[in-house]
Amino acid sequence: MVKTELEKFCIEDCEDFSPAAIFECGQAFRWNADENGIYTGIAYGVPARVWAENGKGYILSAEGSFSSVWHDYFDLERDYSALRSEISREAVLAPACEFGKGIRILRQEPWEALCSFIISQCNNIPRIKGIVEKLCHLCGDEIDFMGERLYTFPDAKNVARLSEKELDSLRAGYRAAYISEAARGVADGSIDLQHIMSLPTLDAKRELLSLSGVGEKVASCVLLFGLGKLDAFPVDVWMKKAIKFFFGEGKFDYSRFGNLAGLAQQYMFHYMRNRK
């Protein structure tokens, strides 16, 4: 095995880079914290440890991976402080924006996002993470990272090859058939996620909604977390509570937030799940 040289990357101002806020707000399922709050995970086949300390953020990963993976993955080009200020103009959301300071919208690999959010439907986060991890163990590539055994998220071709018995071992229930069908579509090119990503958001959403097992919430999550559509606004049970909490009864139009709807959604969701 070729030894990979590691490099520690520093994010000087982590006011808008909180690993706990980023990884615990329901947008990703492959990052886990140790007792010291250091998160270990893997994205685009590259493992890393991520943490905050003394007002700075740190990413420990393969040499050169900051520019090739993590800069885009953590959306570090975008000024989230300015975005928070803009969303906070809606005064009722100011507490949620302050509470969610440090959240960033991850730019996840599109196939991983599609598969993971198909698994997420009518499911809770611990169980979603468990099913996703089983899938990675089943047909992902094994990587040794700092003495820890990690597994990459399997590509669609590997998932498409799984037998019915292997899919049953995931204990994903009715979602297994949707996982398999989506994998076959991505593998044979009939589902072209790069093309869908290039479409305007409403057109991209229509394409996703045509897939088996993809409803409004799953499509919106894939748009926001896998296809970079920041104007997508996923709504689940928590968001229905949040909308009522912040805006009361009656019709709610998320387009009021324009291209920042997805970030506003994350602030609302995070606040509602964690407020005392």
217 is an active site residue: yes
What DSSP designation does 92 have? G
Residues of the chain with pLDDT below 70 are 1-3
Tell me the residue type at 104: R
CA-based nearest residue to 271, from 95, 11, 148: 95
Q: Describe the strand order of the beta sheet including 32-33 as a list of residue ranges.
A: 6-11, 56-62, 46-53, 39-43, 32-33
Q: What is the pLDDT of residues 166-217, one digit of tens each?
A: 999 999 999 999 999 999 999 999 999 999 999 999 999 999 999 999 999 9
CA atoms within 13 A on the CB side of 204: 26
Which entry of 101, 134, 217, 241 is annotated as an active-site residue? 217
**pLDDT at res. 3:** 56
Are residues 111 and 158 in contact, defined by beta-carbon separation less than 8 angstroms?
Answer: no
Q: Does the pTM exceed 0.75?
A: yes
CA atoms within 13 A on the CB side of 83: 26
Q: What are phi and psi of 180, to 5 degrees?
A: -65, -45
Average pLDDT, the chain: 95
CB-based burial label for 165 (10 Å; 0-12, 13-18, 19+): exposed
**pLDDT at res. 241:** 95
C-alpha span between 119 and 112 (Å, rounded)? 11
Helix (H) or strand (E) holding 229: none
**pLDDT at res. 1:** 41
C-alpha span between 118 and 154 (Å, rounded)? 15
CA-based nearest residue to 47, from 125, 189, 145, 115: 145
C-alpha span between 135 and 55 (Å, rounded)? 36
DSSP secondary structure, 54-89, as one string: TTEEEEEEETTHIIIIIHHHTTTTS-HHHHHHHHTT
